[in-house]
A and B are shown apart, each in its own frame.
Chain A
Amino acid sequence: MLKVQNLTKQYEGGVQALRDVSFEVPKGQFLAVIGLSGSGKSTLLRCINRLVEPTGGKIFWNDVDVTAASEEDMRFIRRKIGMVFQHFNLVARSSVLTNVLAGRLGYVNPFWSLINKFPKSDYDKAMHELGRVSIADKAQYRADELSGGQQQRVGIARAMMQDPEMILADEPVASLDPVLAHSIMAYLEQINQEEGVTVLCSLHFLDLVHRYADRVIALNEGRLVFDGLPQEIDDQKFKDIYGRDAERVG
């Protein structure tokens, strides 16, 4: 259960990225976050695991106040929240396996991980997660030798290494072509339905929202302007979310 209350973020340059955003996500939901680029989607997702420090409001995750957590506490909160990125954010020169194992850093003792020593069970788990996204054969490849779609699958495997209760996906398919987009979204859907992992996913295309999301929230200039079911977005609502000049395609 995630509760966001009156969340506000003002960047140091003065940009008001989030204004008074409040919503709740029950466990196991697939929530899509939509909005124009610059509307604050990335900022919202990053505030939830405090990659970005909120300037106002509160976030509760399983009734723990994330915004008040100490650095030590954050380790235990973050390790239960996986994250998937638009540009995959893999370490290009490391192997696929090392990238996936990195998902376990919140669980292993810092000292041993510094000398690249993980428990045997973590290696097995890494191969299992790579198998789930069907690239177990690429484990020893360097991450930058993989195609975009394959890299995003590694990104998902890394997030799943965390045994997450929630995944934050920041435009996971925006830099992939549409065919690949569906295969990546299908993996997220599978994780959501089979493992009961809550998914917060920011998306660009409405057809993806209709196809995969249980519920949608929309941001416009940092304000929450819509919270409802995907099929409730009619032409009027669409114009409110995306602006007057927006034209619905597809």
Chain B
Amino acid sequence: MKNLKPILRSLGIGLAVIAVIIIYAFGFQVTKVNLDETRNPRRQQQLTRILRALAKPDLLTYEKEEVIVTQQFMVPCPDGGFTTPDVDRSGPYITIEPACADPRSMVTVKGFNFQPNSSGPIAFIPTSQVNLGVGDFEADANGEFTTEIRIPARPDSAVQTIRTITRTNVGAPKISKTAVDTWDKIVETVFLALLATTLGTLFAIPLSFIAAKNLMKDVKSPLISIALNLLLIPLGIFVGIQLSNYGSQIADLISRSVVGNIAGLVIAPAIAVPLVRWALPQAELTRPSPKTRILRTLGLIVSVLIGILGLQFLAKIVIQLGDFLAPKLGSFTFLGTFISDMGDILGMSIVVITAALAAGIFSSIGDRTGKLITSHVNKPAAKALSMLLSMLAGALLAVLVMQSLNWFYEFDNLAVTIYWPAVIGGAIGLVTSVRMAPKDDLPVGIVLYYIARTVFNALRSIEALVWVIVFVVWVGIGPFAGVLALSLHTIAALAKLYSEQVESILPGPMEAVTATGANRLQSIVYAVVPQIIPPYISFTMYRWDINVRMSTIIGFAGGGGIGFLLYQNINLLNYRGASLQMLAIALVVASMDYLSSRLREKAI
């Protein structure tokens, strides 16, 4: 009995070893491990060729001089035999033995007085003058070679020719065409990655706060506020878009003349700035009365409207300025185009800004009203109101969701897109409000947190390579598609990394700033932001580095940048070109690494 245990143990170990062997054997089979191929001389020769080409990046070229050496030859031997005519033996020359031969027979070609170590092709030139390659030669250190070639099946009564060509470098080395193209594309790549990183960072920073649990877990709202928000935010977006369209039309009318435009540009801020200063006094030493608050809010809304109008003027004048400058700037045309693009971007963002502002204003009104109702209205009334509002909100939400699904799947059936969702959404809202006490706070923050996390994870798991295909369809092949694809991936990846940094901040400063009476936004700016600046900088730099490397891949799918060139060269078997491009990528990545470590040192 005593001896059984060690035996069982060795048995177990034995079984485990067998299992491991089986697992690896299966792995070998699945991945088609083929050692014969690795030893195959033909394959080894190809490998050598590629590796040697890769080791010689196509950076420099020389002016080439072609040296052509010919010798007469007859196939087959004529009746009287054939003797090669004498050639000039002061320069390079070749001899052929025998001087004439049958088709498909072997002859020996010898070369003399060639450039030491030079090499080149040997060709048979029939009377048709079509070049038939028959082999290669490599001269030794004395400039001589001996090689055997097979005569092609081209019998002819006329004299034919055998020819060698050598190319030799002359003069000083020059930057190759590949190097120039690579430089252009690597610059494009760096800027593509820069734009994608910038765009991604701009969006990722605010989103990362939503995806941070420590900031979101205390965000709570009563059901009435949530329902009002759900109802008012879509309305706010709609109103915002309408307003910015009206603004754009008004600005269009006025800015027909440059004078009107400039006047608008001056007058708008002249009204808006003092109004903002009045509506937002610097200090709130006493609590403002409800009347002042309403007046101030109105003043703020008016000044925001005027401000938006002012931005419209600005966008228009910037576009005009850029268009005016572009043709006059010569080789700096791109600056003019950039200015007018900036105006265009501003114009496009105004819609988004206005929609966001209006949604924000509406949402804060909804929030305030909801909290006011919850704390001032008696329980039954609050319950009734919360039932009504959440029913409406549920119905609206469901209809909006189905409307967007309809856009994808084109049901085009009112029952599916409006009636049923309204009924079901309303019912869900009603049930929620019936089961909830109206004055209880719901953890909206945590819900938003999970939604944000899920969206980021989904976005992140779709590679930029896939996104680029979508964007190439939208904006065409080229670096712009690459910028958009990489930006999207950057937003998701950075928002996640950033939010983890926000979650790992010291809670103490946040607590202290909150204790002073600061609101949520103020505590974030004063206690959170200073803590996350160093990691944000280093993650952004790291992301730029990743984007440079990724942009080599998205070039494969038409996303512009150096990847496009690399892909082409690999397909054309131009390994020396590909090698140069890989070298360029490595250099850029290495210098970015150096740069980012220097920046990090500065920022900490």
Contact = CB atoms under 8 A, between A and B. Distances in A.
A85 B522 contact: no
B517 A118 contact: no
A117 B282 CA distance: 8
B281 A109 contact: yes
Contact of A108 (B282, B506, B509): B282
Interface string B562-595: 0000000000000000000000000000000000
A93 B282 contact: no
A114 interface: yes
Nearest to A119: B282
Interface string B172-203: 00000000000000000000000000000000
Interface string B529-549: 011011000000000000000
Contacts of A168: 515
Given A107-B284, A109-B283, A75 B533 contact: no
Nearest to B519: A110
A74 B514 CA distance: 10
B515 A83 contact: yes
Interface stretch (A33-41, A56-64, A98-106): A98-106
A58 to B, nearest CB: 16
Nearest to B276: A111
Interface in B255-299: 280-285, 287
A114 B531 contact: no
Given A79-B516, A110-B519, A113-B522, A89 B511 contact: yes
A102 B283 CA distance: 13
A103 B516 contact: yes
Given A70-B375, A89-B508, A89-B512, A106 B280 contact: no
Contact of B513 (A93, A105, A109): A105
A221 to B, nearest CB: 24
Nearest to A116: B525
Nearest to B510: A89
B516 A158 contact: yes
B511 A114 contact: no
B318 interface: no
A109 B517 contact: no
B348 interface: no
B371 interface: yes
Interface in B466-525: 506, 508-509, 511-519, 521-523, 525
Contact of A89 (B509, B521, B530): B509
A173 B525 CA distance: 28
B531 A111 contact: no
A85 B511 contact: yes
B527 interface: yes
Contacts of A87: 508
A107 B283 contact: yes
A106 B518 contact: yes
B280 A112 contact: yes
Contact of A102 (B513, B519, B534): B513
Q: Is the interface of B mostly helix, strand, loop or mixed?
A: helix
A102 B526 contact: yes
Given A75-B519, A91-B527, A102-B518, A109 B280 contact: yes
A90 interface: yes
A102 to B, nearest CB: 5
Nearest to B509: A91
Contacts of B284: 107-109
A202 interface: no
Given A51-B511, A91-B530, A119-B282, A105 B516 contact: yes
Interface centre among A81, A98, A110, A155 (most CB of B within 10 A): A110
A103 B530 CA distance: 16
Interface string B429-457: 00000000000000000000000000000
A109 B508 contact: no
Nearest to B372: A70
Contacts of A71: 371, 519
Interface in A202-237: none
A81 B515 CA distance: 8
A89 B508 CA distance: 5
B522 A110 contact: yes
B427 to A, nearest CB: 31
A103 to B, nearest CB: 5
B439 to A, nearest CB: 11
A93 B531 contact: yes
Contacts of B530: 91-94
Contacts of B534: 93
Contacts of B523: 105
Nearest to B277: A112
Nearest to B520: A71
Given A93-B533, A94-B530, A105-B526, A111 B280 contact: yes
Contacts of B375: 70
A121 B285 CA distance: 12
A89 B531 CA distance: 12
Contact of B531 (A91, A106, A121): A91
B377 to A, nearest CB: 14
Nearest to B367: A71
A109 B516 contact: no
Contacts of B280: 109, 111-112
A137 B258 CA distance: 54
B508 A162 contact: no
Given A90-B509, A91-B530, A102 B282 contact: no
A109 B300 CA distance: 13
A91 B282 contact: no
Contacts of B527: 91, 102
Contacts of B508: 85, 87-89
Contacts of A98: 526
Given A51-B511, A119-B283, A91 B526 contact: yes
23 contacts: A71-B371, A77-B517, A78-B514, A78-B515, A83-B512, A89-B508, A89-B512, A91-B513, A91-B527, A91-B530, A92-B506, A98-B526, A102-B513, A102-B518, A102-B526, A105-B513, A105-B522, A108-B283, A109-B281, A110-B521, A113-B522, A114-B522, A117-B282
Given A106-B518, A109-B283, A118-B282, 5 more contacts: A79-B516, A104-B516, A107-B517, A158-B516, A161-B516
In the A-B complex, the 8 residue pairs with the smallest Cβ-Cβ separation, listed nearest first, are A106-B517, A79-B517, A105-B518, A89-B508, A89-B512, A78-B517, A83-B515, A91-B509
